[in-house]
Every structure is written in C-alpha cells, then in structure tokens.
Structure 1
Amino acid sequence: MRSAKRLFIGLFLLPLVSVQLARAQEVENRPSIEAIKVENDQDINIDGALTEKIWLDAPVAGNFTQYRPKDGGTPSQKTEVRVLYSNKYIYVGAIAYDTAPDSITATLFRRDGTELSDWIYVNIDSYNDNRTAFTFAVNPRGVQKDVFYFNDVEEDLLWDAVWEAKTSIDDRGWVAEFRIPLSQLRFTSSNTTQNWGINFQRRIARTDEINIWAPTPREDFGMVSWFGNLTGIKDLSKPLRLEVRPYASIGLTRDETLEDANPFSNQNDFNVKVGGDFKYGITSDVTLTGTINPDFGQVEADPATINLTNFEIYFDERRPFFLEGNDIFNFGSTTSQNTFRTHTNFYSRRIGRSPSGDIYQAGISGEADYEDRPNETTIIGAAKVSGKTEKGLSVGLLTAITAEEKGTYFSSSNDETGKYLIEPATNYLVSRVTKDLNNGNAQIGGFLSSVNRDLNSGYLENYLHKSAYQAGVDGQYFWNNRNWGASGSLSFSSVNGTQEAITRTQNTSAHYYDRTDSEGLSLDSSKTSLNGYFGEFSIGKYGGQGLRYSLTYSEMSPGYEINDMGFQERADYRAPHYYLEYMNVDPKYFRFYLLWLYGGHAWNFDGDLIFNYYASGAYFQLNNLWTIVGTGGLTGTFYNDRITRGGPIMQRPKDWNFSLQLTTNSTKNFYVGANTYYRRDASGEIYNTNGLSFNFRPTGYLQLELSPTIVFERNTDQYVDYANIYAEAYGYTDRYIFSSIDLNYFMAEFRLDYTFSSTMSLQTYIRPLVVTGNYYGFKEFNEPGTYNFDEYDEESGEIVMQDECYGVDSPSCYLVDANADGTIEYAFQNPDFDYKTIQGNMVLRWEFRPGSTVYLVWQQQREGYFFKTTEFMPFNSVGNIFDQKPINIFLLKFSYWFGT
C-alpha cells in the first residue's frame, strides 16, 4: 500500500510543486514577423503573383522546421511568407518553393475538403489569448479551407469565413496570396498597437510532410499556445461587421409510397421558402448571429439504422447555423483521455426535432385511419451572441423559438378530417461564459440552459416536461509547459411537469426508478420535479516526452436528467477511469508509433458493478506510409442494470475482443483500408464486423470512394417482452422474456465527387443497408443477479408459433404456456424481421461570388420493413430494394451574401 501511495505521488503530485516555466518568457522566445501597412488597398491585386513592390520589401518569415515526419527536422523544401495589412484587410503572401514543381499535389475538390493536396495554412490568434485561432488555408488549385481553433487544440471545421485567395504554379514552386477582411477576425480595436499570435504551415502531400514556422513540438501539448508573434499592426479602426445572407428555395417532394386511398396523398408536393441569416458585430470582438425561417434542405440526410436497444440513437448535427461557432457552448468536457461520461450537455438537434406526439398518446387512434404530419418542428427564429473580450472573457448565448405543430388525421367511418397537437411551442435557451486566467493556462466557466414549453393543459403535458433547467461550473489548469493539467466540472439539472410526466421520466431507460431489485431507488408517482447532479475531475500528463497518463473520476446521481436540451443515455453511476500511453515521434524502425493501456470501472448507487473493462492498443505508421492499428480488450464480470428494462439486474459473462485496421499509403491516387473487429463472451455471444474502403483519384478533379461492411452478430440475451402472469402457486409474477438472435448487416457507401472549379462541385453518394434478424431459443430470465434462463420447450408446447394471435398485430406470433398447464398465458408477435433501405444524394454547389451560393439537390430514399426473416443474401437484397417505391426530393436554393 505504501509503495502504491508513493507511485501515485510520483505520477501525479510531484509536478504540482515543480518549477513552472514563465509563459511570458516563452512568448518572447517565439519567432516574430512584422506586418507592413498598405495605404491603399487598390495597390494590391490578388492574383497569386506577389509582383507588387511592397511584397518584395516586406520582412520574410522563413526558417520553417519540420513537424512531421521528423519533429524539429529540416524541411525538404523552402518556404517564405510575408504579411501586409490595411484598415480593412490582412494580406498574406507565401512562396512554396519546390525543386520538382511537376510533382506538386494540386487536387481540385470542394471547399473545406480533406482530400490529399499540398496546402499553405495561415493561423491567426487575434485575441492573443494562446487558446483561440482563425485559420485560413489554400491549396495550389485555389481550394479554400477555414478552421476555428479553441481550447488551444480543438477544431471547429464548420466555421466559414468570407475571404479571398489566389494561387499560381511556376518553375519556382507555387504561390498563394490571401486577402482576409478584418471583419472576419475578432480583436480589440481600442488597442493602439495590436499584438497577435500567428503561425504558418506548409503541407507537402507526396512526402506526407508538415513544415511549420513557429516550432511546435509534437510530443508537447498545445497548438495555438506555440504560435509566434505578429507585430507592426497599429491604429486599426473598428470595422463595421455586418453580414446579411437572404435565401430563397423551391422544393418538390414526390412520395410514391402513399396509398391511393390516402386523402393526404400528394405525389407532387411543392414548397417555397424564404428566409435568411445575419451577423452583426456588436463590438469588434462580440457578434450577434441570427436566422429567420431557416432552411437546411442541402444538408445530408441521417444514415438509416435499426435500433434493438432501449436507448436513443445519437445523430450528428448537420445544420450550418447550429454547427458554426458551436464550440463556445462546449461545457463539462474535462481533459480526460478515458472517461465513462457519454452525455452531451447541449445537443442542438433538440431544436427543431421531430414532433413527439402521436395519435395513440392523443387517444384518437381508433378514429384516425390516415395521418399527415411534419417530419420536423418549424424553427421560427434563432439567434446567438458570441465573442471574447480583451480581458479573456468569452460569452455565448443562443435562443430559439419553435412553433406549435399539429397533425391532421382522416376518419373513414365518418369521412371527416381533424387536427391534433403533436408538438407545443417551445423556447430554448443556452448560455455559456468562460474566463481565461494565467495567460491562457487556466480557465473557469459557467453554463446555463433552459427549455420552456407551452403545454396548455393538453395531453402532451403527461408526456413532456413543462420546463427543464441545467446549470454548472467548470475549470481547467495547465502547468509545466501545458504538458500537465487538471480539470473538473459540476452541474445540476431540474425537470418539472405533471405527476404523469415525471413518473414517465423516472421509468425511462436513463433512470429506471422502478427497478424491482434496487435498494436505493423507488418510483415516486407523486413527484412533479426530478433533480440531480453530475461531477467529473481529471488530472494527468498530456504532453512531453515519455509516458502520458490520466486519472478521471465521474459521478452522476440517479435523478440527473438533461434530455430536453442535451443527450443522455443513463444516470446513476460512480466511475473511476485511467489511461496510460507512450508515443515515439522519431523511432528507429517506424515513422511513428503510439502505445496505450486503459481501463475503467463503474458502480451504480446501489453498489452494483455495472462496467468493468481493460484494453490496450497500438498505432504504427510505417516508413512506406502504411498504418496499422491494433487493439485488444477484456471485460470482467459485471451487472447490467438496464437490460431487463426496469426489471432486476442481470450478470454479464466475461468477454474478450480484438480489432485490426490496415491502411495503405494514402498519398497515392489509389489506396485501400481494411478493418476487422471480433468480440466473444463466455455464453457464446459473438460480434464480428469486417470492412473495406477503396479510394481512387483517377484525375485531380474526380474522387471515388467505396466502403462496404458486413457484420454478423449473435446475442444470447436479446430482450423480447415483459409479461405479468398468474400462477396458482405463486399468484401474479413478473416474467422477462429473452431470446437468442442472429443479426446480419450489410452496409456500404459509395461516393463520387467531381469538382469543376474551386467554386463549383458535384457531390453524390449512395448508401444501402440490409439487416436481417432471426430470433430463436425464447426463454425467461429466472434469477436476479445471475445469467440463468428457463428456455421454453417447443416440443412440449410451451411455445407455439402460428399465423394469427388475438390482440397481436403481426403476420405471425407466438403463444406461450409459461406454466406448462395447458393454458396460454400470453402471446407476442414474431419479432423476426428483414429490413432494406437505400439512400441517395446529389448536391451541385456553385459559389458564384464569395459567400453567395446556389444549391441544386436531389435526394431519394427507398425502404422496406418485413416481419419475416429471409436468407441473408446482401447483394440480391440490395437489388431488391429497388422494388420498393421511392421518395424523391428536389431542391433549388439561392443565397446571396451582403457584407462589409
């Protein structure tokens, strides 16, 4: 025990008393570049040539060093960068010298793409806070990319700015010329002299080389905090930051799946929308952003899925307004490298979600033969304020109002049409504030969110919360060159509503207050609110040479509930997790490798061990630029307190798993990836997935990608149903019915991207999915805390399948004589299924002037769900999908940017 204590002190506590390097001294040792003022913007012609005399006279940022492959090594090619400024713009000129100009990788693709190419990056920390940066990049064909960095190392790839760049290729190499409006940056205009952080980066694709101006050690933590200094900028006037982007769209939906008898059948449904976005700079560092009647028709559809669990599926946000600048609302994420935490405090897809009410909840299912309802809730308007002051105070505020939505139903018996409420009018509010301390090495912050619904005493008040609130604080502190850090967060939640609504919340999969064998939880149907807390603390070494490690503790009370504004799978846990890794950026036999070990455990508040996992892994990049990733894991015995969906806990058998992934040289025009994952447990449960990916660039403007995957899964504890059955000897007893299930998946994604120019592109994809599920070996869970079942005997007649069962809406069903007394106690539908779907999407995008775009979109989906299992023949099934009737969506959208 004493040696363990000494080890803990050595790993985590001694650096707390180590001598800290002064950050001010580090900044002084960074390289500097002086910007030269341009008196007349007309003197600079953005043509990618850099022929104006002022470029020739400007100071040069040279002396780049390698970041990759050899940390701190000498670049294979020379690079020079110069900086100018005016009262309206920052100008950057870069010459990327190349001894083999015909080997420059100059690929053409859509803006913000990640395809293989040479690049020049300009990173500007105009806040000068060592944490935030605005990044502008261009490739030799003039393709632009912009990225927003926050928290020193985190990226917002969806941030879009309006700026210009031109490039040219000549016998020296290639040249890039940037013109970046000051209105796209954030800075304190009241300062007479601007002191900004800056860095330049050059990427050479053919050698997988990254060269950087201000040296940034790969082994050390941080990115923005290593920037050099930009000097010479003086007497900037406050820029007028006003941007307005109105849009108009025309859409046509052709739904051929509707029955002819459906009175709502309209195979040609036209839709015209008008709205817009705006940005206004309240100050030079605080911005108001808004959207009115937003349209997201050009956004890629969610992938199709099959969900056999009791948990909601998480889908990524894809709508630009909610993506851009969303980083300001990040809360509660510690610097842990391994944590049990899976929840998201702000899940923006709650805003404008699919309406939650239905005809069954409303009690009109007997009257409604046909129904017409919107797929999404209308967002009337949304606005957000975000920015950062000179003193390091960051603020973010987002509010949105969604409309009341009603569904329309038709009753054939009385030939009448009616309406009913499916989603109430709702106000969403989320706010965030952070304060940088100690020159960006520390930060404290707060978070507050609220959801308020106008339920009007309708049936939805028994299903939805009247209001939901969350408040919290967080902080982080780094030392020893930011290689060591500690962070933590604490938040509280409260949801309020009717007794029926709060009772339903207690019974959801996140809580299961009604769990029959819980010692500490009990369902309270008189409650009109539910409250809880979450906390997490992490400490570790995140950079520097040698080992890196972290230790994290998370705790969430049973009553914590944030699903109105956030995303949360479960509450009720206490979880310590740990992580250890070793990275070598300059090994003898490889180009790079990383080794890691980690583990984690979790207990619910009753003390049941609900998670018990150990894993290791390795990543190798070979000298030929192939990569190999391998992992292995072991799960010890633990208890699943969610699988019976409110019933007793079940012990889970031990299992083991491994994975292997291989990728060939991605700098080639054709490269391949292969991956496999295999898991098996002591009960015979299996999960095996195998995937391939083929990437082909036949020309500099065409890219093809094909990624097929086949999955086989055998579960021995698939939940089927619950029944309360009477037995003469015992009275009524709870029965939890399970089965084994064989699941087969085939999924694939084919993408074709054709780029006409740096401003016009065509992107297409086709995404089929085939899933079959065969249930067998039906059984009852018979003893809490074990993995014991009583399997129904088909030969003795305990379970019989037949075509029809009274009260069961299914083509076939099972009758169960659970007591083996000749009496049928209950019935359930045959859960076997065969699901097929295919999604297709085509988007033509033309940015006809900076910030102004035209979209032409075509989407198609075909889908079929059958209550039967057929032989798993994925390729035949993909062909059979086209027997299903399609839904086609066509959209033309035009937006125009007005800005200063």
Structure 2
Amino acid sequence: MSSHAKWVAALLVALCGTVSQGALEGPGKDQFLRAARTPGRITVDGRLDEPVWATAPVFDGFVQRFPKAGATPTERTELRVLYDDDTLYVGVYAHDSQPALIDYRLGRRDSLPRGDSVHLLIDSAHDHRTAMVFSLSASGVQSDGLYFDDRNYTQNWDGVWDAAAASAPDGWVAEYAIPLSLLPFPQAEVQTWGFSVRRDIGRKNEEIESVENPRTTNAVASRLGHLTGMEALRPHARWEVRPYLAARGVMRPQFSAPAQPTPRLLSPVLDVGLDAKAAVTSDLTLSATLNPDFGEVEADQLLLNLSTFESFYPERRPFFTQGLELFEPVGMTSDTAPMSLFYSRRIGLATPILGAAKMTGTVGSGVQVGVMEALVTAPWQQRDETSPDRALHLNASRPLHLGPGVELPGAPTATTNFLVAMARTKVGTSSRVGVSLASAQPFEGTCRPEDVDPQLGGLPPASCTALGSLAGALDFDLKTGDSQWGVLGLVTASRAVAGPPERLLRDGTVLRRGDAGLGGYVRAGRFGGKGFRPELGLDFAQPTLELNATGFQRTQNAMLPRFQLQYAQPDGFGPLNDFFATFTVKPQWTADGRRVYRGTSASLSVDSLLPSFDVLGVQGTLDVGGYDVRELSGTGVPLERTGVAYFGLYGTTKSTRLVSVGGNAGINRRLVTDAAPAHWDWAASLYAVMTPHPALQTRVEVGSDRTRHGPRYVMSLDDSDSQFLLGDLDSRFLSLTLRQQWIVSPKLTLQGYAQLFTAYGVYGRYFTAQSDAARSRIDLDALEPSGAPANFNFHDTALNVNAVARWEYRLGSTLFLVYSHTQQGLPTPVGEVAPATLGPKRLLDGPATDAVMLKWSYYWGA
C-alpha cells in the first residue's frame, strides 16, 4: 500500500473510531418527553379545550437557539403530546407578553410566511439521520419538509396531515394531528422517537427549541431529544390514492417559424392520471404515478446564458420533489455540486412520462434505500403545417392523453427507461457511506453511422436522438462525534450507451459509444463550530466522464484543487448577531494529459447579520485568467481569456417588515490585454416585498447586467477547425418580474407571476485566430483584426405570465384553475441589424401561446 493510501485509510479509521465514541454524547440524548394516550379522537381547532389535554405532561423547558444560544427564552412555551392508535397529537401554547404584536400574516401551503410559527421535528425511525418537519404559522399556514443526512434540509418532502392555529388571550396555540401512517417506526412495545419542537417569535427574530441544539453543532437529527411512552402501537399498512382529471385549451401558432406568428389554432386536450402511495413495510414506501400532469407548476425563469455551461433549473414537479433528497450529491445540493448522478429534469420535459415509480425507506439494520424508475414515451407524426391535423388522437404509447394531431411532436423521440438507485448505511452516530446507480436506457435499437449522415437529409431515427448512459458512484460522509470535523466525497464512473456512434463534446472530446470516464470530488476539514474552519478539496473529471444523460455535470476534463478558510461566529460577533468570513482559492487545469491551465480564482466574502436583523455582505474576487478549452466550440483549442476583478455588495432587510427589500450589486473590471482593453462592467438585482395586509403580498424584482466579454467565438473559417472568427461581444439584459399572491384562506389561494425579459448583444471589433492540428493554444495578443463578413448581433425579448387558483376543498384533495401565456418577440428581419435596445421591441407582434387548464384531484388515504 502506498504512503498516500495508508494515510487516507488511517484517517478514515480514526474518523470512524471517533464517531463511534461519540455515539452516547451530545445534549438532548438524556432528555425524554412523555406522551399520554387519549381514549378518543381530538377535534383539531387550535383550542386545546378537550379535558384529555389536561392529562398530558407539560414541558416548558425551552432554550434559545438564536440569537443567544442556550439563554432563557423571552417568552414561555408549553408543550403537550397525546396519541391514539392512529394519530399523534401535539399541542403548543405559545405565550406572548405582547399578543397584539404576534405576526399573523398569511401564506400559501408549503410557503410559510416569516413570522410567528411552530415546527415539529420527528425522527420516528430513530436512525439519527432523518427528521420530518411539520410547520404551522400563527395564521394557520401549513408547511412540511425533511432533514436528511443529519443536517441538510429540503422542503421537497410532503405529507397529508391536519393542524390548526388560534389566538389566545396571552398568545396563540398550535394544534397538530399527525397520522401515524406518515411516520415510519419499528415494531416495539414502547416507542421511542427523536423529537423536538422549535418556535419562532417573528418580531424578535428569536428561535427557541425544546432541546439545546445551537447552530454551531452542524447537526440536527442526531441531536434531537426523545419522545417516549407510546405503548402498543402497530405500524400502519398506510396507503393513499389521488386520481386527477385535467382539461385544457391551448391556443398556439399554426406555424413553427417564429417569423410567422399567425394564424393560431385552438386545441382541446384531456389528460387523466393517478398518483398512489403504499407501505411495503413499516419502513419502506412505494410511490407511483401514471401519466403525471404538472400544469400548475410555475414556468422557469428566463435567463441570458452566454457561457459555455448549461444552466441549472430547480425541480418543482411534485412527484420528483418527493424523496429527491435521497439522490442529492453528498455534502451539497445538485446545483452546487461539481457533479450529480441524478438531475430529475432530464425526465419528462422533452418526452412525456408514461409512468414512474419509486421506493424509499429503510431495510435491514438501518440501511436507507431509494429506487426510482420512469418510462418516457410519446407518439409523433410528420407535420404538414399548411394542413394541420386537428383530429383528436388516442395513442397506444400514451393511452391516457387525448389531443389533436397538431399537438404531437413533429420528430421521433426515443422511448427511454430511467433508473436511479441508492443505498446508504450509517457509520457511528451520524456518519454514512453509500452507493448509487443511474442509467438511461433507450429502447429504439442501434444508431448506425449512415443514419446520421447529413447528406441523406430527412429526420434522423429516434435511435440517433437518444442519449443513454450507465453511471455508478460511491459516496461517504464521515464526521467526528461532535460533527465538527469530517471528510466527505464522491467517486463516480460513467459509460456511454446507445445514441449516435460518437458525438463531440464542447471541449473537443469525441465521446464514442462504450467510452467510460472517472470523476469525483472530496472535501476534508472543519464544517461546524465557532472560529476558524479550514477545508481542503479536489474536483476531478476525466474528458470522457459524461453524467448528463441522467445527472448534472457542468464540465468535464477538469482538475480543480481548492482551499477554503472560513471564520465563523454563528452566535454573534461583537454587535453582530452572526458573522462569517470565507476565503477560497481554486486553480484549475485540464485532465486530458495536456494540463492546459484553465485559470485561478481567489475570493473573499464577508456575511453578517446586523443588530437590526438585516443581512449585509460583501464579496471580492480576482480571476487571473487562463485558457478556455470550451470557447472554440468542439475543437478543444485553448483560447486565452482575460482576467477579471470583481467587487460586490448584497443584503436583505428583515423579512417581517411591511416592506422588505434586498438584492445585490457588483462591478467588475477586465484586466488589460492588447485585444481587450480594460473596462468596467456591472450587474445588479433588486427586489421589494410589500405586505400591506396579512392576506396580500406583492414581490417586484428587477435584474440587469452589462458585460463586455472580450473576444468570443463567432464561427470557424475552414473545415479543419484551425482558423476562427472572433468578435468583441457587448451584452445586456433586463428582467422585470412581478409575483402577486392573495390568500383568501390557508386552503384557498390565488397566485400570479409575470416576467418580462429583454436581452441584446452587439459585436464590435472582429478578429481572426489560427491554431494547428496539435490544437496549440491561441494567445490574445496573436489575434489579427478582421472585417466582419456578416452581422451577428442579436436581440431577444419574451414575456411569461402565469396565474394559479388553488383550492384544497378537502384534506389532500385540490382543484386548480391555471392560465398561462408565453410570448416571444418577432425576430429581426433578414438583412436588418438587430436593435441594441432593452425595450421589448416587436414583442406583441411575435408568436404567442395561451393555455387555460382546470385540474381536479381527489385524495383517499388510510
């Protein structure tokens, strides 16, 4: 064994040993709260007036979690817990010395308003890794979420449970009824669960908890107290079924060419489907969906992305958000990780989902598992836009969807099966190791080289449009007993399957069917506690690592070591309520053997919570430049890029105010080169949230940016990809967003969203650049001035509007009425110069699509 391998093995053994020693430590491990049995069901009305509540033990030993960890709370809180064979009841009396100042602002389901609220944290499986969170505001708004991997939180988990809030003479009351069918627990004569209650006092920014767990611990689930005394409970054979019916009318242009926005056609569409969930065992749940519809989900934000990297969009579709935390990359979320095996938005956006299923839970002695499988398939037909097919079709490959032929795709899409599976096991108290697998397997046969010959013309077969892959990973998250120090990381491998015989990646790598690649990342250091937190890391991806068929991978062909030093004072620093200063250095090279230097960035950020509970931060970054192997598309020729110095400010005011504002603003300066003179650029994003009434909220956002990029790739000048045309690009965008919500009641909400987006780009000086067959690098001072053979300027403008009415007419059953409008600006006519303006020029003349949907669902459960 090498010295490096011995050192790593010794470190892992030391960590695991330390974790095991810490298994019985930690405040809260000796705290036991008792629940009392109730002889009958309780009416959940926020009153606690049933006589049985008086028989429950009262707990009031709460402590501050923030802003003064461990201090006595400024307001008293009483906690009582009851149970019967089917339900866990929790009553919280939140006393308040100034009840007139309690924040009763409203919000929609799963969008808890910042203010007075109570949160239950329940680890019913008692695995010290996972805790369900049930939140209730003083105004009766419900929200739920999940802590996973001990300390990471997601709002993606969702359950059907009941709760009510009511005012009291000296405070307010939160009353919960949590079905035991939601809580996985083992067979035992007496149940003992991880349990804690948190209370937020909005006007004071005070957070208190029933067990002492300060923010510095870097742990949550493993530090909960205990709830015990629940006798003779049996795990429930829980199940739920939610069928839906969605009818919509869609008005869209008859022709796909953006320059031909009229006439428009009206298409009626009908979908039926089903969501179901059932307990396989007390600790294992099976969920399934058939022909899912997500028409009520808000449209993606419009962005200007002129980089060579894909934009990441968050997942909002309910079936995928449920349990998504199981597949998140270790130590971070998908949008911050250098690589992720699973990115759920790969499924069902281009090709509809016929059906999907997933199984999540625990098997054996504490092994957590998650398996998800989805099948996407769609009929298609060759389009004749001059004589559109308006007849209704019901197709065998999509049997629960009825719509006209004009709505079908005009090109074949591959029927593909997606499979993601993971398993992880606990090490010590709160550490874990795991394995995962992800595959995308098309069912369309083999794509032959002659099928993708451009000289043949016509549409390529579905077998040549599919992207398949098989990927696996080993991950680990090992922490010391106090959860402050640790090592976490992921090692992954991929293999390209199906699709075209070969394809060209952005950096010039030719990825062939059967090619394999390796990659991963590791972080080691101090992740919790006060004071200095050093951290070392390494990101690595071979040129042929390709996870994007099922996952998200911004780049490959990269070797990126990193060093970070953070100074953290989560409990306050002088007059500040918290303070964090973080210094990070990240150099980067290619991993293809050429070791092309891709640049180094160094940044310093300072974040603070002011005495007024407003947030203020500052960041400075120096990027010294390097060589970009992705800019000259598909060639891998390194092009020198200019260095950039950046300085920015960001902040937010206290969110419980009637008007709160926030945003960021920054300036950057391009460093001097012969081809790109030094200049200043800027970017800003500001928002204001107005709450004139507890039931009304308006949010206005404005974002704008000006960036002069220096020489950017325009086109290749020869077939050998050794001569290039580059141009100085000056780009700007303006985004205006309005969000409006009216909360008629916690069960009936109206929500509106509109975004107007405009962007333009103007090319200035043009240059020619030359490399050779060896892909020698191109320096900026070697560029030759050139006249422009054509005009490459662009101007884009678009408008998205979305309005949603949601009514939960009975527990778990909903009715949605949705209107959406998308409009794209009319393109600049051939021969004209694209306008350099942020005005929405020719927007209303462009193609538009309008849709109205009525969606009904009904919930059965036990």
1:543 aligns with 528
Structure 2 residue aligned with 1:854 = 815
What TM-score does the superposition give when structure 2 sets the normalisation length?
Answer: 0.89
What CA distance in whole angstroms lies between the structure 2 residues aligned with 1:262 and 1:708? Answer: 31
Deviation at 1:587, TM superposition (A): 2.1
Equivalent in the alignment of 2:339: 343
Aligned to 1:316: 314
Query: Deviations for 1:503-540, whole angstroms, at most 9, x for unmatched residues?
Result: 21xx211x522xxxxxxxxx58xx54110111222211
CA distance in 2, matches of 1:171, 1:143: 21
**How big is each residue's C-alpha offset from its partner over 1:515-572, in whole Å with a ceiling of 9 and x where there is no partner?**
xxxxxxxx58xx5411011122221111122211211122211111112111223211
**Does 1:608 pair with 2:596?**
yes
Equivalent position of 1:496 in the other structure: 497
- Tell me if 1:839 matches 2:800: yes
> What residue in structure 2 maps to residue 786 of structure 1?
779
Aligned partner of 2:607 among 619, 622, 625: 619
Structure-2 residue corresponding to 1:468: 469
Q: Is the 8 A contact 2:729 2:762 kept in 1?
A: yes
- Pick one of 690, 696, 705 that aligns with 1:696: 690
Structure 2 segments unaligned to the other structure (5+ residues): 1-7, 390-404, 448-459, 772-776
Matched, 1:122 2:139: no
Partner of 1:561: 546
Quick check: 2:15–2:478 contact (8 Å CA) kept in 1?
A: no
Q: How many residues align?
A: 807
Find the counterpart in structure 2 of residue 709 from structure 1.
703
Kept after mapping to 2: 8 A contact 1:142/1:758: yes
**Cα gap change, 1:406 to 1:259, in 2 (>3 Å):** closer
**1:126 Cα deviation (Å)?**
0.6
Counterpart among 205, 208, 217 of residue 202 in structure 2: 205
Retained in 1: the 8 A contact 2:15–2:479?
no
Counterpart in 2 of 1:40? 40
SS of the residue corresponding to residue 22 of structure 1 reads helix
The one-letter amino acid of 1:630's match is V
* Equivalent in the alignment of 2:138: 140
Q: Report the counterpart of residue 94 of structure 1 in structure 2.
A: 92
Question: 2:427 matched to 1:437?
Answer: yes
CA 1:28 to 1:679, structure 2 compared with 1: closer, same or farther past 3 Å? closer
CA contact (8 A) 1:533 1:557 kept: yes
Q: Deviations over 1:568-609 (max 9, x none)?
A: 232112221121111222222222211111111221122122
- Kept in 2: contact 1:448–1:471 (CA 8 A): yes
For 1:431, give the aligned amino acid.
A
Q: What is the deviation of 1:866?
A: 2.9
User: Who is 2:452 aligned against?
Assistant: none
Contact 1:335/1:538 (<8 A) preserved: no
Deviation at 1:723, TM superposition (A): 1.6
The residue number in structure 2 matching 1:729 is: none
Q: Residue 24 and residue 641 in structure 1: after superposition, are their counterparts in 2 closer, same or farther (change >3 A)?
A: same
- Report the equivalent of 1:290: 288
Match of 1:660 in 2: 649
Q: Percent identity?
A: 28
Cα RMSD, aligned residues only? 2.9
Seen in structure 2, the aligned counterparts of structure 1 residues 378 and 101 have a Cα distance that, compared at 3 Å, is: same
Separation in structure 2 between the aligned mates of residue 482 and residue 338 of structure 1, nearest angstrom: 24
Indicate if the aligned counterparts of 1:148 and 1:155 stay in contact, CA closer than 8 A: yes
Q: Give the partner amino acid of 2:247.
A: I
Distance 1:413 1:388, change over 3 A: closer
Shift of 1:435: 0.8
Q: Distance in 1 between matches of 2:157 and 2:557?
A: 36
Report the alpha carbon displacement of residue 138 of structure 1 after superposing the two structures with TM: 0.8
In structure 1, the residue matched to 2:353 is: 379
Q: SS at 1:282's partner residue?
A: strand
1:478-498 deviation per Cα after TM superposition (whole angstroms, max 9, x unaligned): 114111111222121111247
Check conservation: 1:60, 1:82, Cα contact below 8 A: yes
Query: Cα offset for 1:257?
Result: 6.8
Q: For 1:202-240, what per-residue CA distance to the aligned partner results, in whole angstroms no more than 9, with x for missing partners?
A: 001111111111111222211112211111012112212
Counterpart-to-counterpart distance in 2, 1:308 and 1:28:
51
Q: In the alignment, does 2:596 pair up with 1:593?
A: no
Q: Residue 67 of structure 1 aligns to which amino acid in structure 2?
A: R
Quick check: 2:261–2:848 contact (8 Å CA) kept in 1? no
Distance in 2, matches of 1:186 and 1:19, equals 25
Structure 2 CA distance for aligned equivalents of residues 431 and 702 of structure 1: 43
- Does the 8 Å contact 2:166/2:173 carry over to 1? yes
Give the letter aligned to residue 582 of structure 1: Y
**Would the aligned equivalents of 2:27 and 2:211 in 1 still touch at CA under 8 Å?**
no
- 1-structure distance, mates of 2:618, 2:261: 56
Q: Which residue of 2 aligns with 1:895?
A: 857
1:533 match: 518
The amino acid that maps onto 2:26 is E
CA distance in 2, matches of 1:699, 1:555: 51
How high is the TM-score relative to the length of structure 1? 0.85
Match of 2:848 among 873, 878, 886: 886
Q: Which residue of 2 aligns with 1:803?
A: none
Amino acid at match of 1:295: D
Match of 1:866 in 2: 827
Contact map agreement 1:336 1:551 (CA 8 A) in 2: no
Give the conservation status (yes or no) of the 8 Å contact 2:184–2:235: no
- Counterpart Cα distance in 1 of 2:607 and 2:346: 37
Per-residue deviation at 1:870?
A: 5.7
For residues 873 and 698 of structure 1, do their structure 2 counterparts lie closer, same or farther at Cα, with a shift above 3 Å needed? Answer: farther
For 1:50-98, what per-residue CA distance to the aligned partner results, in whole angstroms no more than 9, with x for missing partners?
1122211211221111111111122111101111111100000000000
Whether the 8 Å CA contact 2:826–2:846 is kept in 1: the answer is no
Residue 435 (structure 2) aligned to one of 435, 440, 446: 446
User: Residue 701 of structure 2: SS of its match in structure 1?
Assistant: strand
Contact 1:293 1:379 in 2 (8 A): yes
Following superposition, the deviation at residue 263 of structure 1 comes to 13
Asked whether the 8 Å contact 2:440–2:550 carries over to 1, the reply is yes
Amino acid at match of 1:591: N
Return the offset for 1:390. 6.5
Residue number among 210, 213, 217 corresponding to 2:214 in the alignment: 217
Deviation digits for residues 636-686 of structure 1 (CA, Å, limit 9, x no counterpart): 242211111214212223221111013223221112224212222213365
Q: Is the deviation greater in 645-654 or in 847-856?
A: 645-654
* CA shift in 2, pair 1:28/1:830, >3 Å: closer
CA deviations on 1:868-888 (whole Å, 9 max, x unpaired) are 6566554xx248533435311
Report how far residue 420 of structure 1 moved: 6.7
Alpha-carbon distance in 2 for matches of 1:249, 1:616:
50
Superposition deviation, residue 17 in structure 1:
8.9
Q: Give the superposition deviation at 1:351.
A: 1.2
**Structure having the higher Rg:** 1
Per the alignment, in what secondary structure is the counterpart of residue 408 of structure 1? Answer: coil
CA contact (8 A) 1:774 1:869 kept: no
Q: Which moved more, 1:474-483 or 1:459-468?
A: 459-468
In the alignment, is the contact (CA less than 8 A) between 2:254 and 2:385 conserved in 1? no
Alpha-carbon contact 1:338-1:579 (below 8 Å) kept: no
Question: Which sections of structure 1, spanning at least 5 residues, go unmatched?
Answer: 1-7, 355-376, 514-522, 726-731, 800-813, 815-828
Which AA in structure 2 matches 1:552? G
Superposition deviation, residue 14 in structure 1: 9.9
1:580 and 2:565 aligned: yes
Task: Give, in whole Å, the separation in 1 of the partners of 2:334 and 2:272.
Answer: 45
User: Match of 2:496, as an amino acid?
Assistant: V
Counterpart AA for 2:713: Y
Q: Is the 8 A contact 2:22 2:481 kept in 1?
A: no
Alignment counterpart, residue 372 of structure 2, candidates 373, 398, 403:
398
Map residues 325-336 of structure 1 onto 2, 5 A cutoff. 325-331=323-329, 333-334=330-331
Counterpart of 2:621? Answer: 633
